[in-house]
Amino acid sequence: MPTFIGYNTINQYGDQTLTDFALIKRDLLNAFNIRQGEMPGRPLVGTKMWDYVFDAQTPETSQLIREEVNRIVGQDPRVFVNSTNIFTQENGLLIELAVETVGNSTAETLSLFFDQTARSAQYV
């Protein structure tokens, strides 16, 4: 029996039900695609990642990115970050997150690409 059950209508046809880790991944991706201040009436919702994607990649910027990733993932009580790796790419940033679910200890590495051109985050 799944622990978490939710729904996804983004690029999905037929069964729109997501469970457990698939739901967590979708929720994290949604959180990384909302820019801070973008949601009407809720100025603190969202991420500052998009400010950092367009900045020069210095050690200080890398630290800010790590802190922002930990902040966003930390808002989800079902999962926590074990480690973060940041790689600059031609058109954006690739962030590898080693995450683990709380309770059943499912661990997985997620690769998120923040695309400057499309201005969206996606799993690769």
Give the rounded percent of residues in the chain with a pLDDT score beyond 70.
85
Question: Can you give the pLDDT at residue 1?
Answer: 39
Top-level class of domain 5-123? alpha beta
Question: Can you give the pLDDT at residue 13?
Answer: 54
What lies within 8 Å, CB to CB, of 68 at 6+ separation is 47, 48, 49, 52
Question: Can you give the pLDDT at residue 74?
Answer: 92
Q: Domain boundaries in the chain? A: 5-123
Tell whether the model's pLDDT for residue 111 goes beyond 90: yes
Give the pair of three-digit tokens for residue 98: 């080693």
Helix (H) or strand (E) holding 60: helix 59-74
What lies within 8 Å, CB to CB, of 120 at 6+ separation is 33, 114
* CA separation for the pair 65, 115 (Å, rounded): 15
Give the pair of three-digit tokens for residue 66: 């790590």
